[in-house]
């Protein structure tokens, strides 16, 4: 059936009339802050303690807007005769937000969870050169990162948590079995002040003798013994 002439125009005018009759609401920004979605890509926060200076974020950034400087420090050997180790120490971590296109690749490739999305968006500057923010500013934005959403109750348990839980259950079961099995209870060792002997106090011929010992002393030749 061919469309009725003018039906499209009538639908468009109906939408216009509904919009004209609707009350408009103006957000009074900045007095009223907007309600941002939880996964808003506002700015990138840095959790410096997790950064190992692996340079993955800087290498994978398509805009090359991440600048990282570091140096190596030598860690002395933990034990005598051990080998000294070296580690990377972060000196500078900066992001040029005038070049950043907010793709999130740096956050995805970070293997140690050192970068996070923050909903903070009020960091405009009058000079483009001031949009390169150093690690101190990135650290401040880290505290505005929202908490991760809760897991779905029907979701599968993570493999790491499942493995740790099974290990703990096996250890608890083995302890309970040892406690209920006769003859496997740990032996109590009384102190020396009670005059009793324990496993570390030998008795009989192997027990040491002397002036302060309670065992019989070896008689001297000619007194009660044979020469």
For the chain, first and last CA: distance in Å?
A: 137
- Residues 21-74 pLDDT 10s: 888 888 888 888 888 887 889 999 999 999 999 999 999 999 999 999 999 998
Residue 57: predicted pLDDT: 95
- Residues 88-131 pLDDT 10s: 999 999 999 999 999 999 999 999 999 999 999 988 899 999 99
Rounded-to-integer distance, Cα 174 and Cα 181, Å: 11
DSSP 8-class letter at 214: S
pTM reported for the whole predicted model? 0.57
DSSP 8-class letter at 93: E
β-bridge mates for residue 67, sequence order: 94
Rounded-to-integer distance, Cα 76 and Cα 72, Å: 13
- β-pairing, 85-96 vs 132-133, is antiparallel
Q: How confident is the model at residue 191 (pLDDT cuts 50, 70, 90)?
A: low
In the structure encoding, which two tokens stand for residue 79, read together?
Answer: 């034990």
Mean pLDDT of 138-148: 90
Report whether 95 contacts 130 (CB < 8 A). no
């Amino acid at each position: 059936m061919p469309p009725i002439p003018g039906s499209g125009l009538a639908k468009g005018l109906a939408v216009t009339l509904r919009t004209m009759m609707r009350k408009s609401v103006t957000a009074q920004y900045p007095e009223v802050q907007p309600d941002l979605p939880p996964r808003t890509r506002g700015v990138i926060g840095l959790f410096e303690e997790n950064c190992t200076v692996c340079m993955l974020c800087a290498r994978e950034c398509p805009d090359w807007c991440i600048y990282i400087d570091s140096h190596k420090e030598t860690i002395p050997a933990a034990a005598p005769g051990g080998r000294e180790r070296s580690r990377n120490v972060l000196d500078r971590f900066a992001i040029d937000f005038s070049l950043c296109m907010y793709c999130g690749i740096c956050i995805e490739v970070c293997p140690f969870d050192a970068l996070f999305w923050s909903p903070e968006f009020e960091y405009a500057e009058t000079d483009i050169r001031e949009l390169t923010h150093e690690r101190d500013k990135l650290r401040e934005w880290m505290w505005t990162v929202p908490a991760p959403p809760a897991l779905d109750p029907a979701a599968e348990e993570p493999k790491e948590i499942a493995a740790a839980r099974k290990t703990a259950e096996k250890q608890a079961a083995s302890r309970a079995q040892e406690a209920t099995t006769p003859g496997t209870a740990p032996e109590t060792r009384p102190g020396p002040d009670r005059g009793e002997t324990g496993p570390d106090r030998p008795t009989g011929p192997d027990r040491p003798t002397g002036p302060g010992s309670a065992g019989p002393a070896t008689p001297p030749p000619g007194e009660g013994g044979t020469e």
